[in-house]
Structure 1
Amino acid sequence: MRAGTEGRRPWAAGAVVIAGRGPVVAAEEATGWAVRYASYDETTGRGVELPPDERVPVTVGTPFDLASLTKLFTAVAAVQQVERGTLRLDGRVGTYLPDFRAAAEHGVTVRQLLTHTSGLRPELPLYDCPTASARLARLRAEAPLTRPGTAYRYSDLNMLLLQHLLERLTGRTLDVLVRDGITRPLGMTATGFGPCPGAAATEDQRRPWAKADRGMLRGEVHDENAWALGGVAGHAGLFGTARDLAVFCRALLSGGSYGGARILGPGHVQLMLTPPGLGFLLDRPRFMGELAGRGAAGHTGFTGTSLVLDPATDTFLVLLANAVHPRRRPVPEHGPRAAAATRLARAVRGS
């Protein structure tokens, strides 16, 4: 994990990687520290390391803050409702959430939320709103920057609107939808919304580099908006292990089933994994390495997490890391993610 170093700082304090093909796990490795730093020293630009006997090593069972990998679970929860006929992909958000007046006025659709073509900006500083009602009012009033359906713009707001839509539609909160519809059926017992006390530490979160002053975080969601929203958000908030995410990957590569459980039918899984995709990022070369361009689908998370599915070879790769420990970088680095994906692609080609 030395790739992309900043001075003597590694890309991540610790990481777990798991790769598989078909029903076989080909590699599973853990390295580094779940907790290495006590704080970040802005005067030296380095982390303040804990004494060796106070550090916590990473194991293959260490949970990580999954960050934006949460979006995939929100997307699956939405597609489950599409499969059941209770939600229309091309239905307008305003039909389900008439009080979200800006999205309603601009005709934003469910499909546009799932494909990041709604035109909404990447994020809003909801963490600066003084009350929950103020946060909700700001989200309801947020209008697209461009005409919906005309351009791709990755946005956390898409999944926040989708969360509100699903909760209004089903009468259940997102954490319950994810638990009852995805993690419990698949036996993903180590995956859920926080708090998660045993998770790998993330950031010494302080201004000006962060958006809130919260100190060193461990087991509390890193994303400031998800934190302000109580830890359960459509775009971030889940914690989980690499082994659990391997099960999630296998279920999707197997057409929506794993063991005796089915979370989606094959047709709807294909809808998620083929262009333009629903929730997944398709053939994005920066983190998919040499898997890109072959029909691969995947996603990343700001904390250092990623997963890639390659339906053509029935392979998957999960990489969980605390790359923001003890402090985020100005620009997230994809080098180690891409290198791992390339190694998997070459191993499959050589088999």
Structure 2
Amino acid sequence: MPSLEHAPEHTCGVGGRRELSAPRLRADTPERAGLDPVELGHMVGEVQALTAGDRPWAAGAVVLAGRGPVIAVAEAAGWAVRYASYDPETDTGVELPPTARVPVTVGTPFDLASLTKLFTSVAAVQQIERGTLGMNARIGDYLPDFRAAAAYGITVRQLLTHTSGLRPDLPLYECPDDEARMAMLRAEAPTAEPGTYLYSDLNMLLLQCVLERLTGRTLDLLVQDGITRPLGMTATAFGPCPGAAATEDQRRPWAKADRGLLRGVVHDENAWALGGVAGHAGLFSTARDLAVFCRALLAGGSYGPARILGPDFVELLFAPPGLGFALDQPWFMGELAGRGAAGHTGFTGTSLVLDPATDTFLVLLANTVHPRRRPPDSRPRASLGTHLARAVI
């Protein structure tokens, strides 16, 4: 297995209380982690297969898995940049010459897509811990100008649990300027009865507005100062991120905007329209940085000498139905699901799962949308989760 101590990492862009030091991650053998090397070998083989052939599941991928403070698998396969464009006539990517392709390394940053929601959620729970934000408070108390949502009494808890009733998204990318985009958000009322589960990017956009109004600071600074800087996650930031894996040749009609081949700028059209910093999408990161994030949460909010949350508030994140985090979802967690596993997926091909019951974590970064988006297929994610679950000794 590659050693992460010497893995190259790109830095994208530019707190924490000091307490007793929690163990830092280190690369070691599966046996030292209490994991079956044969089962992890199957995991590595699958990732290599997922990036092979003329129509791979992803052009490139990185898988990182471990238990406790030990990283037992860190494998990169395929290409960060494989295609120059997408050809709709042949429904294939236009391959770059081999010498022009960019291989994936363990340190390659990826567009996290909806994994960004986890960082927005942690930033919100940090404010709840400080007593500046009320879990059951109505967002109208913080955003009185968001009259449509305020009229329905939508709460902070409903935003965090996707039970506000707001529709999945809005075409903010069609608005001519920021003022028009904010006016659209302010005018948006629930389409379902509040209390009804309906997964929506708008929940995290409104939560971002609450946090920024409450603190007087932008979300990128809240994430940087409250999460990534204290944890030493130097490769995690909102874009642009020039060294990132490429995503889509973004053109209509399959996309919502005509932006060409994207690399290092956010794939999500609404996040792009909002300047790249959004509550639902926009972060770039590496597998090792995300492993640190997982490790901190599994350790009750601590990593090394830093603490980003108290243990009670980490438990609050993972208490059913989960705050921002999805809980026990076999469709992308496989057999890790069932005992309180928490995680999320991202549209670009990303996912992470952490399982407090076995103290394991699994990070998968992939660019499944390179060179163009396709119907999502999470079976590979679930299969990798099953391999990790079965590897636990």
Question: Would you say same fold, with TM above 0.5?
Answer: yes
Provide, for residues 22-61 of structure 1, a one-character-per-residue CA deviation record: whole Å limited to 9, x for no partner. 0111111000000000000000000000000000000000
Counterpart residue number, 1:325: 370
Counterpart residue number, 1:123: 169
How far the C-alpha of 1:8 sits from its partner, in A, is 3.3
Change (3 A) 1:239 1:221: same
In the alignment, residue 57 of structure 1 is paired with which amino acid? Answer: P
Counterpart residue number, 2:11: none
C-alpha distance in structure 1 between counterparts of 2:138 and 2:75, whole Å: 44
Counterpart residue number, 1:12: 58
Counterpart residue number, 1:260: 305
How far the C-alpha of 1:7 sits from its partner, in A, is 9.0
Report the TM-score when normalising by structure 2: 0.87
How far the C-alpha of 1:146 sits from its partner, in A, is 1.5
**Is contact 1:201–1:322 with CA below 8 Å preserved after alignment?**
yes
In the alignment, residue 195 of structure 1 is paired with which amino acid? Answer: P
C-alpha distance in structure 2 between counterparts of 1:102 and 1:298, whole Å: 31
Query: Does residue 257 of structure 2 align to residue 212 of structure 1?
Result: yes
Counterpart residue number, 1:346: 390
Match of 1:24 among 52, 57, 70: 70
How far the C-alpha of 1:5 sits from its partner, in A, is 9.4
Provide, for residues 276-303 of structure 1, a one-character-per-residue CA deviation record: whole Å limited to 9, x for no partner. 1101011112101111122111000000
In the alignment, residue 238 of structure 1 is paired with which amino acid? Answer: L
User: How many residue pairs were aligned?
Assistant: 347
Query: Does residue 133 of structure 2 align to residue 87 of structure 1?
Result: yes
Provide, for residues 248-304 of structure 1, a one-character-per-residue CA deviation record: whole Å limited to 9, x for no partner. 000000000000000000000001112011010111121011111221110000000
Matches for 1:23-172 after TM superposition, within 5 Å: 23-149=69-195, 151-172=196-217
Provide, for residues 122-166 of structure 1, a one-character-per-residue CA deviation record: whole Å limited to 9, x for no partner. 0001001111111100000100012211x2111000000000000
Change (3 A) 1:186 1:2: closer
**Is contact 1:256–1:266 with CA below 8 Å preserved after alignment?**
yes
C-alpha distance in structure 2 between counterparts of 1:338 and 1:217, whole Å: 27
Secondary structure at the aligned position of 2:206 is classed as: helix
In the alignment, residue 335 of structure 1 is paired with which amino acid? Answer: R
Change (3 A) 1:212 1:111: same
How far the C-alpha of 1:341 sits from its partner, in A, is 0.4
**Is contact 1:4–1:335 with CA below 8 Å preserved after alignment?**
no
Query: Does residue 356 of structure 2 align to residue 311 of structure 1?
Result: yes
In the alignment, residue 299 of structure 1 is paired with which amino acid? Answer: H
**Is contact 1:94–1:100 with CA below 8 Å preserved after alignment?**
yes
**Is contact 2:339–2:357 with CA below 8 Å preserved after alignment?**
yes
Q: Percent identity?
A: 80
In the alignment, residue 227 of structure 1 is paired with which amino acid? Answer: W
C-alpha distance in structure 2 between counterparts of 1:276 and 1:200, whole Å: 33
Match of 2:381 among 306, 320, 337: 337
In the alignment, residue 304 of structure 2 is paired with which amino acid? Answer: G
C-alpha distance in structure 2 between counterparts of 1:101 and 1:181, whole Å: 30
Change (3 A) 1:288 1:117: same
**Is contact 1:3–1:335 with CA below 8 Å preserved after alignment?**
no
Matches for 1:174-185 after TM superposition, within 5 Å: 174-185=219-230
Query: Does residue 246 of structure 2 align to residue 201 of structure 1?
Result: yes
**Is contact 1:114–1:279 with CA below 8 Å preserved after alignment?**
yes
Structure 2 gaps, min length 5: 1-46
C-alpha distance in structure 1 between counterparts of 2:209 and 2:340, whole Å: 31
**Is contact 1:74–1:159 with CA below 8 Å preserved after alignment?**
yes
C-alpha distance in structure 2 between counterparts of 1:17 and 1:4, whole Å: 11
Query: Does residue 295 of structure 2 align to residue 235 of structure 1?
Result: no
Q: Provide the aligned C-alpha RMSD in A.
A: 1.3
Counterpart residue number, 2:13: none
In the alignment, residue 121 of structure 2 is paired with which amino acid? Answer: A
**Is contact 2:50–2:58 with CA below 8 Å preserved after alignment?**
no
In the alignment, residue 166 of structure 1 is paired with which amino acid? Answer: L
How far the C-alpha of 1:335 sits from its partner, in A, is 1.2
**Is contact 1:69–1:305 with CA below 8 Å preserved after alignment?**
yes
Provide, for residues 189-234 of structure 1, a one-character-per-residue CA deviation record: whole Å limited to 9, x for no partner. 0000000000000000000000000000000000000000000000
Structure 1 gaps, min length 5: none
Larger displacement relative to structure 2 (333-342 or 182-191): 333-342
Change (3 A) 1:170 1:15: same
**Is contact 2:51–2:61 with CA below 8 Å preserved after alignment?**
no
